[in-house]
Amino acid sequence: MPIRTMSDLPAKAILEKENIFVMDENRAMHQDIRPLSILIVNLMPLKEDTELHILRMLSNTPLQVDVSFIAMKTHTPANTSKSHLNKFYQTIDEVENEFFDGMIITGAPVEKLEYEEVDYWQEICHVMEWSKSHVTSTLHLCWGAQAALYYHYGINKHMLPAKVFGVFSHKVMHRRVPLVRGFDDYFMAPHSRHTEVNSDDIRRHPDLITLAESNEVGTFLCMNEDGSQIFVMGHPEYDRMTLDKEYKRDLEKGMDIAMPVNYYPENDPSKRPIMQWRGHANTLYTNWLNYYVYQATPYIFLGKPESEKQEMR
């Protein structure tokens, strides 16, 4: 799938080396194709890494995707340059009058805080409320999923006795639901978190359906009835070395961190980690784009000039 993004976004050159077709703005303007407009709310500290991870996941269907990024104006990231943010990111205020086919809200390293203690909590609540009327389907990742379940459904998170860290097996539930179409009965996915949302709390809610869960780490994937809100408790977008970087970074800081499970061959951190989740991660994103973004967008929007499309919405 061609990904339409800014021509000088650093992730673009890396994706092109991987033979992923990335179309810049100038070329896209000359094609008579309506791209899907996807807004990425990037809350992760290493924003350029997350850009690459997510754009890679969005690259596996024949649909054209027009990607925009926003960051929180009420928070100053410590690990991303101000020039990068100014060049490639907007704020919610700048896109408030626009409409998007899909939105992704990433995880964030704030899970040990109560939601209301997060410095941008009011702003992310505003984004989530705004999404109800301006986004066809929103995909929430890790802390973003926990925060959205709390905001939309009042389901709180709980601290875990030890960090969930590694690659875990999950069982597919309700496989007729299109979001898990093409999944095997069991699949692997990475997790890196200190908190969880209790699986029983999710099951008890009448508006939510659990689509994949693990005996070891609980719910992985759930959604509301129409797929406008989708919640992923782990990090299927992570690349091969992400957990390795996290583990060795924390070791260097002298932190008490356990080795990620089911990750290194023979549990040897000197060996190249085993990639065992990419296929299902790609399928998850492809299904989301196809069934809950592309097919869910009203047909009457397609091919309409932007001015007419916004009037109709």
Cα dihedral: 91, 96, 98, 104 (round 10): 60
SS (H, E, C) 21-67: CEEEHHHHCCCCCCCEEEEEECCCCCHHHHHHHHHHHCCCCCCCEEE
CA–CA separation, 285 vs 106, rounded Å?
14
CA–CA separation, 185 vs 212, rounded Å?
10
Cα dihedral: 122, 123, 129, 135 (round 10): -160
The secondary structure element, H or E, covering residue 180 is none
| C-alpha atoms less than 13 angstroms from C-alpha of 152 in its C-beta half-sphere | 26
Please tell me which residue in 48, 53, 140, 142 is annotated as part of the active site.
142
Please tell me which residue in 152, 170, 237, 280 is annotated as part of the active site.
237
How many other C-beta atoms can be found within 10 angstroms of the C-beta atom of residue 200? 10
CA–CA separation, 58 vs 128, rounded Å?
21
Please tell me which residue in 134, 140, 235, 280 is annotated as part of the active site.
235
- List Cα–Cα distances, 250 to 53, 181, 254, 274, in angstroms: 21, 37, 6, 20
Is 30 known to be catalytic?
no
Pairing of strands 157-172, 208-214: antiparallel
| C-alpha atoms less than 13 angstroms from C-alpha of 58 in its C-beta half-sphere | 33
Is 222 known to be catalytic?
no
- Active site (catalytic) residues: 142, 235, 237
